Amino acid sequence: MTVTQTDTKSDVDAPAPVEKEHLRRLLATGERPAPPSAFASARAFAWRSMLKIKHVPEQLGDILVFPIIMLLMFTYLFGGAIAGGTGEYLQFLLPGIMVMSIVMTTIYTGMSVNIDINKGVSDRFRTLPIWRAAPMVGYLLADMFRYAAAGAIMFGTGMVMGYRPEGGAVGVLLGVGLLLVFCFAFSWVWTWLGLITRSEKTVMSISMSILFPMTFLSNVMVDPATMPGWLRPVVENTPISQLVDGVRGLFDGNVDSVSVLTTLIWSAGFVAVFGFLTIRAYNRK
Amino acid sequence: MSQRDLAIRAEGLVKHFKDVKAVDGVDLEVPAGTVYGVLGPNGAGKTTTVRILATLLRPDAGTATVFGRDLHTDAAAVRSQVSLTGQYASLDEDLTGVENLVLLSRLYGYAKPAARERAADLLEAFGLSAAAGKQVKAYSGGMRRRLDIAASIIVTPKLLFLDEPTTGLDPRSRNQVWDVVRTIVAEGTTVLLTTQYLEEADQLAGRIAVIDTGKVIAEGTPGELKSSVGAGSIRVRLHHADQREHAQKVLSGALAVEVALDDDPVALTASLAPGLDTAEQGSHVLGELARAGILVDDFSLGQPSLDEVFLALTNRVDA
């Protein structure tokens, strides 16, 4: 009885024999398609990233649930104390908390890059004749989808809670677009970190110790006008505060073009510096 | 040998990790269109050498060309001619077998429908169609190995690196991998294969480099290497352990060599002197044992093991 069961199992598990004639034909075709363009190879990696979400949907959980928790927690916990009412506070908080929670999830990109580089699959990618940045850009493209989904969920939750954007649909779309541009650019910090650190845990702890002060020392939760004089100029000029000003202006229909422009300049800077460092680290691995 | 007939020419490759000299001056000349075996124990520097040659690691010193293209200055051209099947499966374990092959086919430039077709064809040729939709993490070692090799020939490479392709596989899977390697080289691809097993190198490789502590300590055809070490050995397992000393005397008398007692309490091994006919010696010894009334459970005539080749070679270097 036991023997029969074992036999059945091994029959299912054992692969069929290799078909040598078929293999010979496949080898003999000698097809050599033209190498893919930079964009096509990045798109293939983005597809891979989406497949991973399909196979391991749990990974989407933290990314979508975390922003909602942040939004509910800060609105109802601090709203009364900071703004004298949760409704008014939500109107101020929503764009900022959206920036904060989505920027915080950018660290997952660095962790994914680090996990890949420590596995054999990365050796294969690195011996392919493709654009060297493609695996990282592929991750970032798929992440744009995740960020947009997180943004939509936060916005929807905010509307249910009573948030009303004065800037209308166009303002909201432009605001989220600006946020995505910044996240794409800022993620290069983490791809670089992912390549130069030993484990994903290191990536996590280093990036958290940068992101926590960076997102809290900002205008996300409170107006910098309430801060001590020495702190105010520092807080007002961080890239996060500039981004929040830009997004908030677009959402509120009160566009702050200086902040939008400053954010775009910061973004270009991140791509230039950390994109370069990332590719250099990738080539040196 | 002219530059054109060489798949790989490496001179003085050196790679250190902290204080460890992983590769310490490796020279290689690999003729095109053959299987070249790199033989050595764990930690000898085989994988590091392969990683340098596959453009994954930059050597600290030394130069190498693949089909005449320099590894360092012309890495992109090298990459378009080589494929690597690493020691640990170079696949995405979260993805299914077919998704892995479609992804890589896309990265080799196939359009989506053609990529799907190529992936399905390869899965079928490698006997993996039934497992195509399963995540690779659920594959057995043998299946992973096959999928990994399939991924390496999506576009037929001119040079294929196989880093310990059969380590950890059962004999059936191992034989299948050997068949695949023979088919690949018959179609004109050069294969550089690393292995810990002399038998594997013997079965597949036209030439072998023996590597130890980051250096090539011997190079030649399998026959040359074996004859340089000795004619092989005779191993006997006795029916009664108490006959072992008697058997030792009989054997050393018959063969005129020293006979070693194995750790196994019923076994003993005689290394044959080079130049004698191994088969003849075997029959002769078996007769002598029978005459002495010694009962034999198992009798084997073997080529030198990796241990023997290896010990002999390292001793010679030391002397």
DSSP 8-state class, residue B196: S
* pLDDT exceeds 80 at position B20: yes
Q: What is the rounded CA–CA span in Å between residue B114 and residue A97?
A: 45
Instruction: Measure Cα distances from B56 to B71, B147, B161 in Å.
Output: 10, 21, 12
Judgement on whether residues B149 and B238 belong to the same structural domain of the protein = no
Interface test with B, best of A48, A52, A60 (most B CBs within 10 A): A48
Alpha-carbon dihedral B52, B53, B56, B60, rounded to 10 degrees: 30
One domain, residues B276 and B209? no
The answer to whether residues B98 and B34 belong to one domain is: yes
Strand partners, B17: B20
Q: How many domains are contained in chain B?
A: 2
* Nearest beta carbon to residue B95 from set A30, A51, A119: A51
Task: Identify any residues that bridge with B299 across adjacent strands, giving them in sequence order.
Answer: B236
Average pLDDT estimate for B80-95:
89
Q: Say which residue, A68 or B223, is predicted with more confidence.
A: A68
Q: Residue B318 — pLDDT band, cuts 50, 70, 90?
A: very low
Checking if the pLDDT of B313 tops 90, the result is no
Report if residue B317 sits inside a domain.
no
Given a contact cutoff of 8 angstroms between Cβ atoms, the answer to whether B244 and B252 are in contact is no
In a domain, B309, yes or no: no
Q: Which of residues 41-60 of B touch A (CB under 8 A)?
A: 51, 54-56, 58
Residues 6+ apart with CB under 8 A from A83: A89, A92
Q: Does residue A19 sit within a domain?
A: no
Closest CA to B69 of B79, B60, B61: B79
Domain span at residue A138 reads: 37-284
- Identify whether A258 is part of a domain: yes
Task: For residue B11, give the H/E element and its range.
Answer: strand B6-17
CATH (domain of B33)? 3.40.50.300
DSSP, collapsed to helix, strand or coil, labels residue B220 as strand
Cβ of B151 and A124 within 8 Å?
yes
Of the three residues B227, B255, B276, the one that is the final residue of a domain is B227
Tell me what the mean pLDDT of segment B141-161 comes to: 94
B214 and B245 within one domain: no
Report the candidate in A50, A32, A54, A30 with the shortest Cα–Cα distance to residue A42: A50
Q: Decide if B164 is inside a domain.
A: yes
Residues B152 and B28 placed together within one structural domain of the fold: yes
Q: d(Cα A207, Cα B115) in Å, to the nearest integer?
A: 38
Helix, strand counts (H, E) of chain B: 11, 14
Considering the domain architecture, whether residues B49 and B118 belong to the same structural domain is answered as yes
**The total number of structural domains that make up chain A:** 1
Whether residues B146 and B210 share a domain: the answer is yes
Share of chain B above pLDDT 90, in %: 58
CATH classification of the domain holding B273: 3.30.70.100
- Rounded CA gap, B308 and B234, in Å? 13
Check: pTM over 0.80? Answer yes or no.
Answer: yes
Give exposure, A219-257, as e/b (b: 16+ Cβ within 10 Å): bbbbebeebeeeeeeebeebbbbbbbbbbbbbbbeebbe
Would an 8 Å CB–CB cutoff place B133 in contact with chain A?
no
Six-digit token pair at A120?
A: 């054999």
Task: Please name the amino acid found at residue B204.
Answer: L
The pLDDT value given to residue A59: 78
Query: Which positions in chain A have a beta carbon within 8 angstroms of at least one beta carbon in chain B?
Result: 13, 15-20, 22-24, 26-36, 40-41, 44, 47-48, 51-52, 55-56, 119-121, 123-130, 134, 284-285
Q: Cα–Cα distance between B36 and B315 in angstroms, integer?
A: 24
Cβ-proximal residues to A156 (8 Å cutoff; 6+ apart), any chain: none
Domain residue limits at B10? 3-227
**Residue A209 maps to a domain:** yes
- Residues B222 and B260 occupy one common structural domain: no
Interface confidence, given as ipTM, is: 0.86
**How close is the nearest chain A Cα to the Cα of B204, in Å?**
16
**Which long-range contacts link B21-24 to residues 24+ away (Cβ below 8 Å)?**
B21/B213, B21/B214, B22/B48, B22/B214, B23/B48, B23/B49, B23/B52, B23/B59, B23/B214, B24/B213, B24/B214, B24/B215
Nearest chain B residue (CA) to A121: B90
Q: Which of A173-187, B237-251, B293-307 has the lowest mean pLDDT?
A: B293-307
Q: Give a yes or no: residue A8 inside a domain.
A: no
Give yes or no: residues B222 and B250 share one domain: no
Q: B48 and B23 share a domain? A: yes
Report whether pLDDT(B319) > 50.
Answer: no
CA-to-CA separations, B204 to A114, A121, B37, B130, B232, in angstroms, rounded: 37, 26, 8, 29, 20
Which residues lie closer than 8 Å to A89 by C-beta, 6 or more apart? A75, A78, A79, A80, A82, A83
Alpha carbon distance B290, A149 (integer Å): 82
Residue with tokens 């916005």: A155
Helix-then-strand count for chain A, H and E: 14, 0
Please check whether residues B266 and B145 belong to one and the same domain: no
Torsion sign across C-alpha atoms B104, B105, B109, B111: negative
Residue by residue, pLDDT tens for chain A (285 residues) are: 444 444 434 444 567 888 888 999 899 887 889 989 999 999 999 999 999 989 988 878 877 888 899 899 989 988 888 888 888 899 999 999 999 999 998 998 999 999 988 888 888 999 998 998 999 999 999 999 889 999 999 999 999 999 999 999 999 999 999 999 999 999 999 999 999 998 999 999 999 999 999 999 999 988 888 889 899 988 988 999 999 999 999 999 999 999 999 999 999 999 999 999 999 999 876
Which residues lie across from B269 on neighbouring strands? B235, B260
B120 interfaces chain A, CB cutoff of 8 Å: no
**Nearest residue in B to A24, CA atom:** B183
Q: Indicate whether A58 belongs to any domain.
A: yes
The alpha-carbon gap from B205 to the nearest alpha carbon of chain A, in Å, equals: 19
B175/B258 same-domain check:
no
